[in-house]
Structure 1
Amino acid sequence: MRNSTCILHPSIATTVALPVIYCFLFITGSFGNILAAWVFSRQASTKRTQHIYLVNLITANLLVCSTMPFVAGYFAKGHQWTYGSDVCRVAYHLGTIVMHVCMYVTITILCTIALSQYATLKKNSDARHSQAVTKNLYKRGLQKFRQPKFAKYFCIFIWLIVLCVTVTAITYDARARRGQTFHTCYNVKVEIGEFTAKTAASFATACFFLFFLTVLLSYYSLTRHLSKIQKNTHIGQNHMVYRTVKRNILVIQIILTACFLPYHIFRPILYVLLPEEDCSKINYLVEIKNFLTCLCVSRSSIDPVTTLLLDKTFKKSLYSLFKKSTPEKHQRRTDIFIEDSPPIRSMMERC
């Protein structure tokens, strides 16, 4: 790349603000996700689909949080480290590469949770409406996302891909470092990437927009379906179920929009606007990209807070862990992602 001779000079926003933000996210995210994992291990059923997805989501969140100290060190001292040093390799491999890979794991699982919520509602809705919608939109494949066996295999498949991508990226980077002329760890190659890195980033961006549109379509289809039901039938007690599932999918859509969408919109723009020789503009664009990346990974830290604020069952389960519970209360525990109400329990226990 012609602009590889450009030397990046990070501003105080990169060397001070970003490390402080990542350290704060590491503390809050580690505490919140460990607490959420503890609640799940004590309260949730291992045979429920939502539990399987949420456990894998928490695992991905913890992996993202574990990379934050390395990323903070990279932004704070990366412009002082030599490119071929061991500390640069560790910070880049355990920081940037693992963080980005796990970030897309969280996106995939979030999309899967939305489809699972949507499929669960459709399975328990009126048969006439359910069959019509499923046939037109997701057909039989939609119901796979609510099956515990499929959820386990699907999550295993995701982590196998993560392992392959991570090992391949680290191996490729180790070979690419030979003969490089960069003097500092914080450089254009790491921040922007060459042809292979750009191709992988473009593919990941395309996958994100596919997931984004899938969740958006699910929410739109659910809203339209509920509107028809309310006009033609009286849904009665099931109204709470519909409202809860609709809210959960909306929360996932908001998370994808607020945290991930700005980064994935800017990434292709970065490649288009990238000047050939203007280092000042390159520095400016790189710093915008880094702050948008920070916005993406911040979701892994605030996700437990979002669950606590929006989910009544999670709140009740968390509170019950700090007081003595009777056996009857343990039998009444429901899925962590669905509110605790009689119609929901009767419908969701079959999942």
Structure 2
Amino acid sequence: MDRTKVLWFSVHICVLLVAGLDPAFGGIRSFSGKVDESFSIPGKTGYKVEEFIENVLTGGLTTIFLPVVYTVVFVIGLPANAMALWVFCFRMKTKHPALIYMACLALADLLFAVWLPLKIAYHINGNNWIYGENLCKVLVGFFFGNMYCSILFITCLSVQRYWVVVNPMSQTKKNNSIALGVSAAVWLVIALSTIPLYLFDQTVYVTNLNITTCHDVLPDAILANNMFGYFVSLAIGVFFFPCVLTIFVYKAIINTLTASLTEDNISEKRKRAIHLIIVVLVMYVICFTPSNVILVVHYALIRSGSTSDVYALYITVLCLSSLSSCIDPFIYYFVSEEFRDHVKNTFLCRSVRTVESMQASYKSFKYSRKSSSTKTSSQQTSQTTC
């Protein structure tokens, strides 16, 4: 009983620390704005934010750190995923389920990276959105859609890797049809799950800063309540369950490879599997878990009206979640040996025909050496017999 109380107290303290609750700070600190009654421009509503949010929106965190991170993601993620998608579509002739999932993941990252220049310009411009309401909605939709798209396609890829390890002789054509159907279902789920982000205005004019924010300030508490239910549903259905499934699958892969001690290349397969698991775990630890946890905590605190200072942490972890676009190419690298070869040949400016010619020459050379070795061995045996 005492241990239970200690455990419960420890968990409670951890939750308070994560949520940033501190009775010493008075008032509600969130990104929920209040209507500015003194604002009198016809057809437009102005909102006031508290001093804490003013400092965040004008400080170095949002105007320097965030655009730097997004610039890194854009500079690395756009060419890396564009090249990966090109390799998947035009260089790799043998289609298989892993390729389908990786191509969809690369496409999602590429669509996300295309919109990043607007996000970068927004933060550099002092968090002032000048591109209109519709573009803001598109940016927000692609931002959250990319994160959950990455989670689902990584889960699909993990399950497919387990299936290959357990059943290596499965029918590729049938599995390709299943992979196409699953991919279509994932795109549909993501499209439907981001619809609520398009149903209300994402831009808010902040009168005390004379800026128009994009998704950074909510106009009222009622909207915050709706957003809480929305993000809780996403965190449970599109993050938590896929995360548990991914962990279970990779544990099963390691157990299966460890048990297959009769295979000659078991150590290499196990090494690649461990590298892949490390990359995926890094993505969950840095990109997916903090953003989903803080999203729920943040909106829960807004909904309850509690004292909260998690706004800065909230936008920071959302920014870090975009790093998944830079990490995904490493997943392709560890999953597919064919992808590694095609990337290397691409950098060496080798065409598909040249690569096929080199592979044919190598196989021919290898076969001739093997035949020569067999012939020499046969002659030696014949001479010995005589």
Q: State TM-score, norm by structure 2.
A: 0.67
Distance 2:127 2:267 in 1: 56
Which protein has the bigger helix share?
Answer: 1
Q: Structure 1 residues 80 and 47 mapped into 2: Cα distance closer, same or farther (>3 Å)?
A: closer
CA shift digits 1:317-344 (9 cap, x unpaired)? 2222313525344679xxxxxxxxxxxx
Compare relative contact order (CA 8 Å, sep 6+) and give the higher one, 1 or 2: 1
User: Deviation digits for residues 280-310 of structure 1, max 9, x if unmatched?
Assistant: x54xx22211111111111102322564588
Against the structure 1 CA distance between its residues 4 and 173, is the aligned structure 2 distance closer, same or farther, given a 3 Å change threshold? same
Q: Given that residues 279 and 327 in structure 2 are in contact (C-alpha distance below 8 angstroms), is that contact kept between their aligned partners in structure 1? A: no
Q: 1:108 Cα shift?
A: 0.3
Q: Deviations over 1:258-299 (max 9, x none)?
A: 321222232233245558486xx54xx222111111111111
Say whether 1:54 aligns with 2:82: no
Return the alpha-carbon distance in structure 2 between the equivalents of residues 47 and 311 of structure 1. 12
Partner of 1:173: 200
2:127 corresponds to 1:99: no
Residue 137 of structure 1 corresponds to which residue in structure 2?
none
Report if the CA contact (8 A) 1:112-1:145 is conserved.
no
- Are residues 45 and 330 of structure 1, via their aligned partners in 2, closer, same or farther at CA, if it must alter by over 3 Å? farther
**Structure 1 equivalent of residue 10 of structure 2:** none
Shift of 1:250: 4.2
- Are 2:356 and 1:327 equivalent residues in the alignment? yes
Deviates more, 1:61-70 or 1:186-195: 186-195
| One of 187, 206, 212 as aligned partner of 2:243 | 212
Mapped to 2, the partners of 1:36 and 1:23 lie a distance apart of 20
How far has the Cα of 1:123 moved from its partner? 0.7
The match for 1:253 among 271, 281, 297 is 281
Farther off after superposition, 180-189 or 109-118 = 180-189
3-state SS in 2 of match to 1:323: coil
1:288 to 308, 313, 322: 313
- What is the correspondence of 1:138-177 to structure 2 with a 5 Å cutoff? 147-170=175-198, 172-174=199-201
Decide which structure has the larger Cα Rg and report it. Answer: 2
What per-residue deviation string (whole Å, max 9, x for no partner) do you get for residues 182-201 of structure 1?
54433531799622222111
Give 1:29's aligned residue: 77
Map residues 271-310 of structure 1 onto 2, 5 A cutoff.
271-274=299-302, 276=305, 282=309, 285-304=310-329, 307-308=332-333
Q: In 2 relative to 1, CA 164–210 (structure 1 residues): closer, same or farther, beyond 3 Å?
A: closer
In structure 2, the residue corresponding to 1:45 is in which secondary structure?
A: coil
Deviations 1:94-139 (A, max 9, x none): 22222101210111000110000001111139xxxxxxxxxxxxxx
The equivalent residue for 2:87 is 39
8 A contact 2:165–2:253 mirrored in 1: no
Conservation of the 8 A alpha-carbon contact between 2:77 and 2:110: yes
The Cα of 1:65 is off from its aligned counterpart by 0.8
In the alignment, the residues of structure 2 paired with residue 104 and residue 327 of structure 1 have an alpha-carbon distance, to the nearest angstrom, of 38
Q: Secondary structure in 2 aligned to 1:61?
A: helix
Task: Compute the displacement of 1:167 (Å).
Answer: 4.3
User: Equivalent residue for 2:377?
Assistant: none
Separation in 2 of the partners of 1:272 and 1:198? Answer: 6
Bigger shift: residues 37-46 or 21-30: 37-46
The letter for the 2-side match of 1:201 is F
Aligned counterparts, 1:68-147, within 5 A: 68-77=116-125, 79-81=127-129, 87-124=131-168, 147=175
Distance 1:235 1:55 in 2: 30
Aligned residue identity for 2:33:
S
Q: Deviations over 1:48-77 (max 9, x none)?
A: 111111110110010111221222233333
Deviation at 1:164, TM superposition (A): 3.3
Q: Give the structure 1 partner of residue 372 of structure 2.
A: none
Report the residue type matching 1:320 in the other structure. N
Q: Percent identity?
A: 18
Per the TM alignment, residue 92 of structure 1 is displaced from its structure 2 partner at its CA by 2.4
Letter matched to residue 173 of structure 1: F
Distance 1:302 1:205, change over 3 A: same
Q: Shift of residue 30 of structure 1?
A: 0.8
Change (3 A) 1:246 1:66: same
- Pairing of 1:260-271 with structure 2 (within 5 A): 260-271=288-299
Within 2, Cα distance between the matches of 1:156 and 1:204?
A: 19
> Between Structure 1 and Structure 2, how many residues are aligned?
301
5+ long unaligned stretches in structure 1: 126-141, 333-351
Call closer, same or farther: CA 1:329–1:194 in 2, change over 3 Å: farther
> What is the DSSP-based 3-state SS (H/G/I as helix, E as strand, rest coil) of the residue aligned with 1:87?
coil
Which residue number in structure 1 is paired with residue 20 of structure 2? none
